[in-house]
Structure 1
Amino acid sequence: MKRIVTTMLCGFYLSCAAAQHVSGQYITDGHWDLKKNVNWVNLLRLNLSITLGKGSVEAATIHVAQTDHSVIGDWQGFCNIDAENTLAAIAVLGYMHQWDNAHLFAGVRNVNEDFFTSDVTALFINSSCGIFPTIAASYPIANYPLSGLTLYFDVTKGEWTFRNSLYNGVGYKGWKRHDNPFLVRPKRDGMFNISQLEYAHRGARYFAGVAIHSRQFPVGSDSENSSSDASCDVSKNHDDDAPARHTSCAWWLYGEQPLWTTDGKAVLGMVQYSENTNRNSTCYRYAEVGCAYRDDRNECGLSGQYARYYNGTEYSAEVTWKHKLTESIALQPSFQYISNSDGNYTVASLRLYFDF
C-alpha cells in the first residue's frame, strides 16, 4: 500500500510540474559521538503548489531514511531531522486561501509549518530550536514527522502578525485505518490549539504564544528521548492508556534582536523561554540564549539550552557554521555538548543541504 501511494504521489508531482510550482529539499546528515557510534540520517521533502482562484492547493511529503538510531542518550533530540525510517508521509495537503493581509488553510498540516522557527533558530540543529520541548515532549501532536487535520489562519497589520491553528489532538504519519493524518477523534485524541502574536521591526522579531491541549497524556518511560521521539513515545502510550480529560497549556516568549549590522553583515542575539502549566508533563520548563553571525555566504551560531524534565534537568550547548557552496547547496558542521542525569555526551555532525 505504501509503495502504491508513493508512486501515485510521485506521478502527481511530475504531472503538475510543468504548469505549477514544484520544489524540494534533500538533507543528509552524518553523526558521530567522538567514540565509536555513528549514524547517517537522510530527509527528502517535496513541495507542490497549484494556484486555484485566490488561493492555492498545497502539498508536501517527507521521506526519511537512516542507518541506525541516535548515537547518544540525550533527551531533547540533538538532531531535528532524526526520525524513524519513513517511506512517505504527508506533511501538508490542503487549500490555502489568500487575502492581501491574511491566509486561511484547511487540510493536513503540522506545527512546524507556521510556528516557533525564526531566522536564528532555523540555523541550529538541536530539535528544541524548532519547537519547545514543553510542547513537543508533552503531547503527541502534529509535530515532525507527524501531521494532522488543521484549520489555520493568520492576519497581518503593519508590523504585527497573529497566527492561530486548531489541530486534532494527536498527529499521525501512517496509511492505515487507525493511523493516518486525516483522523479527527476529539473524544479520544482531544483538541490542540496554538496562538501566537508576532512583532517585527527593523530586523528584530518578538513572539508570544500559548498552546492548549484538552487531554493530558501519560508520561512515557522512554520520553527522555528526543523531543520528536518523545512525542511518538507518548503517542504509543496513548494507544494503550486513554488520556485524562484534563486541559493544560504551554506558553512561550521569544526575542530576536540585531546587535550589529553593516554592509550585508549582521550579528543577532536570541533569547526564549517556555513553561507548561502541568508539572506532570514530560518537560515543563525550557530556556535558551544564543547569538548568530550572518553574511551573504555564512551563518555561524552559538546557543545554550536548559530543559527541565519530569526525571531531571538537561543542559546543552551547540556551536555551528553553515556555508553556502552555491545558491542551492550548503554545508554545515555542528558540535554539541549535552549533560543530563544519564551522563555527559558530545556529538559532532556534518550536514549537506541541496535545494531544488
Structure 2
Amino acid sequence: MTAGAAGADPTYHASLLWNNEAVDTPDGTLRSGATYDSMLLAALDARIGDDTAPANGKLHISFLGVRSGLPSTNYIGDFQTASNIEAPDATRIYSAWYRQTWAHANSIQAGLIDLNTLFDVTDAAGLLLNASFGLDPTLSGNLPVSTYPEPGYGIVFGRTQGTFALNVGLFQADPTQRMGPIGQGALAIAELDYGYANNLPTQIGIGLWRYRQPNPIIAATSLTGGYINLSQSLNGSGVRHTRAFLRLGMAPGSDSPVPRHLSVGFDMSSPIATRPDDHLSIGMTSAALRGQNTETTYEATYQIALNEQFALQPDFQYITHVSGTDRNASVFILRLQLALD
C-alpha cells in the first residue's frame, strides 16, 4: 500500500503481517496439550528521494502486538523454540530507524533495528517455523540479541560493490533496556555477503561478532563467534524451483551455552504445478548444548496460498534430546497468515 508524489515529496508505504496459529504437542516434556500464538506487526515507511537517485533516505516505524500461550516454555520444553512467533504478551513499538543512502552503494542506518533483518539471513530457510532457522542459536541462545520480540538500538554501515555486500553494525548489549542504552556494553557484528543483492543462484554470507558487557547476570561478559550461510538454487525458476541451504554457527568460548549450530534443508516453490503460489520446505536444525546432549529438530512445512493475502501453513516438527535431555517430542502447528503489502 503506497502513496506519494514525484520529486522530493516523501513516498509512503504501509504493510501488515498477522500470524495466528494453534500449537499441539501430544508428548511435550513439560506437559502435553494445545495452545496458541498470535502476532501482529504493522509498519509504515516514508521514502525521501527517488530510488534511482545517488542519495535517498528512508524512515521506518513498526508496531508489534503479541499474545502467546508460550508453547515451548509451558509445554514442549525445547531450547530452540518450535514457533518463531512465541513471545511473552506485549504491545510495543517494534522498530524505528532512519537509513540514508549515498553514491548508490553506501548506507548508514540508526535507531531501533531488528538485527536479523540485516544479519544472518537465509531466505531459503525463511518458510520454516522453528526459530533456529532464523537467527543462529549461537547468537540468540548465548546472549540477548536486538531482534524479535524486542529489538534494541543499533547503528549499521552498509556497502554494496557488484555482487558483494558488507554490513558492519554495533548494537546495545541488552535490548530490553531501551531507556538506558549507553554504558551497558555492546554487540559488534560484521557480515560479508555474495549474491544476495543480485539474487544470484548461489548466495553466501559470512559473519563475525564480538559481545562485551559488564553484567554476568545478563549473559557472559565476553563472547566471540561467527557463522556461515550458504544457499544454492538447484534448478531454474518456475514450477518446483528448489533452493538448498546450509547454516553453520560457532561460539567456541567456554562461557557459551551453545558452542555450535548446524542446519540444513531445502525450499521448493510451486511443488504442485496447478498451485503456483504454494511452497514446501523441509529442514533439520541442531544446537549443541554445552555439557548436555545436542538438541535436534526435524521440520516439514507446507504453505497453502488461499489468495493474495491469506495463507494456511500446516507444520510438523520432531525434536530429539529436548533441551539436552533424553526426551523426544512431537509438535503440530497450523498457522493462518494475513499479509498486506
TM-score class, shorter: 0.7 to 0.9
Distance 1:316 1:281 in 2: 21
Distance 2:331 2:173 in 1: 33
CA contact (8 A) 2:65 2:92 kept: yes
Distance 2:263 2:124 in 1: 12
Task: Look up the match of 1:46.
Answer: 42
Q: Work out which of the residue numbers 283, 297, 305 in structure 2 matches 1:303.
A: 283
What does 1:1-356 align with in structure 2 at a 5 Å threshold? 20-34=12-26, 36-52=32-48, 54-70=56-72, 71-86=75-90, 88-99=91-102, 100-172=104-176, 179=177, 181-186=178-183, 189-200=184-195, 202-215=200-213, 218=216, 237-238=217-218, 246-261=221-236, 263-295=238-270, 296-312=276-292, 313-340=294-321, 341-342=324-325, 343-356=327-340
Q: TM-score, normalised by structure 1?
A: 0.81
- Deviation string for 1:202-253 (max 9, x for gaps)? 32211100111013765xxxxxxxxxxxxxxxxxx42xxxx66x53211011
CA contact (8 A) 1:215 1:248 kept: no
Distance 1:105 1:163 in 2: 10
- Identical-pair percentage: 23
- Deviation string for 1:80-103 (max 9, x for gaps)? 1100000x2222112111231232
Distance 1:20 1:118 in 2: 28
Distance 2:126 2:179 in 1: 28
Distance 1:66 1:135 in 2: 23
Q: TM-score, normalised by structure 2?
A: 0.84
Distance 2:145 2:63 in 1: 18
**Higher helix fraction (1 or 2):** 1
Task: Look up the match of 1:234.
Answer: none
* Count of aligned pairs between the two proteins: 306
Q: Kindly tell me: are residues 202 and 75 of structure 1, through their superposed partners in 2, closer, same or farther at Cα, counting changes over 3 Å? A: same
Q: Kindly tell me: are residues 158 and 205 of structure 1, through their superposed partners in 2, closer, same or farther at Cα, counting changes over 3 Å? A: same
Deviation at 1:265, TM superposition (A): 3.4
- CA-atom RMSD in angstroms: 2.0
- Deviation string for 1:163-192 (max 9, x for gaps)? 1211111111xxxxxx4x243233xx3111
Distance 2:100 2:42 in 1: 21
- Deviation string for 1:36-93 (max 9, x for gaps)? 411110000010112345212210121100245432011111111100000x222211
Deviation at 1:325, TM superposition (A): 1.3
Where does the alignment leave 5 or more consecutive residues of structure 1 unmatched? 1-17, 173-178, 219-236
CA contact (8 A) 2:223 2:256 kept: no
Distance 1:262 1:52 in 2: 34
Letter in 1 for 2:34: V
CA contact (8 A) 1:213 1:249 kept: yes
SS of residue in 1 equivalent to 2:328? strand
CA contact (8 A) 2:122 2:229 kept: no
CA contact (8 A) 2:125 2:266 kept: no
Q: Kindly tell me: are residues 83 and 68 of structure 1, through their superposed partners in 2, closer, same or farther at Cα, counting changes over 3 Å? A: closer
Q: Kindly tell me: are residues 302 and 269 of structure 1, through their superposed partners in 2, closer, same or farther at Cα, counting changes over 3 Å? A: same
SS of residue in 1 equivalent to 2:150? coil
Q: Kindly tell me: are residues 307 and 329 of structure 1, through their superposed partners in 2, closer, same or farther at Cα, counting changes over 3 Å? A: same
Distance 1:198 1:19 in 2: 29
Distance 1:305 1:107 in 2: 31
CA contact (8 A) 2:113 2:147 kept: no
SS of residue in 2 equivalent to 1:261? coil
SS of residue in 2 equivalent to 1:197? strand
SS of residue in 1 equivalent to 2:138? helix
Distance 2:97 2:89 in 1: 25
Distance 2:40 2:19 in 1: 6
Distance 2:170 2:262 in 1: 25
